[in-house]
Amino acid sequence: VAMTILATVAVALRLYARFMVSKTAGWDDACISGAAVFAWATTGTMIAQVHFGLSRHEWTLKPHEAMLNLRAFWLMVIVYNLSLFCTKFSIMYQYLRIFPQKGIRIATYLLMAFVSCYATWRIISAIYTCNPPAAFWDHAIKDKTCQNRLALSLASTMLNMITDILITILPLPFLHKLQLPQRQKVALVGVFAIGGIVVIVSILRLPSLYHLMHSKDITYENAMAAIWSSIEMNTGIICSCLPTLRCLF
């Protein structure tokens, strides 16, 4: 909850800067607002998981608690990824706002297309991890097919890291062409480089995901994965907002 509050404060300051100070609100602000909404939805599903047994051993849960925990987990994966994708698009729209050069604009549009394909696949695969979707949390359903959750999670995590890396490094070769004082350019490089923190958090999240996917005690093992997911999601939102706050200081 604390990280989500910090991210919300960053978004609120950003919107104040864009609407009240510079009066230059755009699609990047709409996307980051969506990211904040989905971040709160993710936090809500995590709170629901805690209520229904997150961090407790699965065998200590009542059947209805285990079912409701898994249903909240299923929903969390969806809204968590929606928050990540909104943040990615906010950053890319920000590039289109900042950089006039044709090269980076073409590269940004291509990256947007790639992220759009990845996002579509990830959301659909999250919804239909099992078919019917209810089979994800209701193990009494007999006629069902489920994906390999380990392969799905690893593929999604790797694509998430790859897109984060590409988004982070994309503007660096073009920063020197911006018509800004040298001090502001250096500061802007530093702000964009901070985006690398999100990649580091994604790497730190990998061990918890690995243990979760191999565990037969999901409610217990999912606690650390949930913590790292929240840190990653909200850090991305905060980093996306930093370049927009210069006019406030």
**3-state SS string for 116-131:** HHHHHHHHHHHHCCEE
pLDDT band of 190, cuts 50, 70, 90: low
**For 138-147, 215-224, 227-236, which range has the lowest pLDDT when averaged over its residues?**
215-224
Q: Report the distance separating Cα 25 and Cα 121, nearest Å.
A: 30
Half-sphere exposure of 185 (CA within 13 A, CB side): 13
Of the candidates 33, 34, 49, the one whose C-alpha atom is nearest the C-alpha of residue 227 is: 49
Say which residue, 50 or 184, is predicted with more confidence. 50
**Amino acid in position 2:** A
- CATH superfamily entry for domain 2-248: Rhodopsin 7-helix transmembrane proteins (1.20.1070.10)
Provide the pLDDT for residue 117. Answer: 97
Q: What ranges make up the beta strands (E) of 66-166?
A: 130-131, 145-146
Q: Answer yes or no: are the C-beta atoms of 49 and 72 closer than 8 Å.
A: yes
Domain ranges of the chain: 2-248
What are 146's strand-pairing partners?
130
CA atoms 133, 139, 140, 143: torsion sign: positive
Provide the pLDDT for residue 183. Answer: 63
Q: Answer yes or no: are the C-beta atoms of 240 and 36 closer than 8 Å.
A: no
Q: 218-241 and 63-98 are packed helices; what angle lies between their axes, rounded to 10 degrees?
A: 20
pLDDT tens column, 79-129? 999 999 999 999 999 889 888 888 889 999 999 999 999 999 999 999 999
DSSP β-ladder status, 130-131 and 145-146: antiparallel
Could you tell me the two tokens for 181? Answer: 């004082």
Torsion of CA 109, 159, 31, 179, to 10 degrees: -50
Q: Answer yes or no: are the C-beta atoms of 104 and 66 closer than 8 Å.
A: no
Q: Please, is 81 exposed, middle or buried when counting C-beta atoms within 10 Å of its C-beta (0-12, 13-18, 19+)?
A: buried
pTM: 0.90
Residue 76: helix, strand or coil by DSSP? helix
Provide the pLDDT for residue 199. Answer: 79
Is pLDDT of 185 > 70?
Answer: no
**For 105-114, 136-145, 162-171, 176-185, which range has the lowest pLDDT when averaged over its residues?**
176-185
Helix (H) or strand (E) holding 93: helix 63-98
Cis amide prior to 100 (ω within 30 degrees): no
pLDDT band of 187, cuts 50, 70, 90: low
Q: Report the distance separating Cα 94 and Cα 32, nearest Å.
A: 10
Provide the pLDDT for residue 160. Answer: 92
Could you tell me the two tokens for 164? Answer: 């984060």
Buried b (16+ CB within 10 A) or exposed e, 231-249: bbbbbbbbbbbbbbbeeee
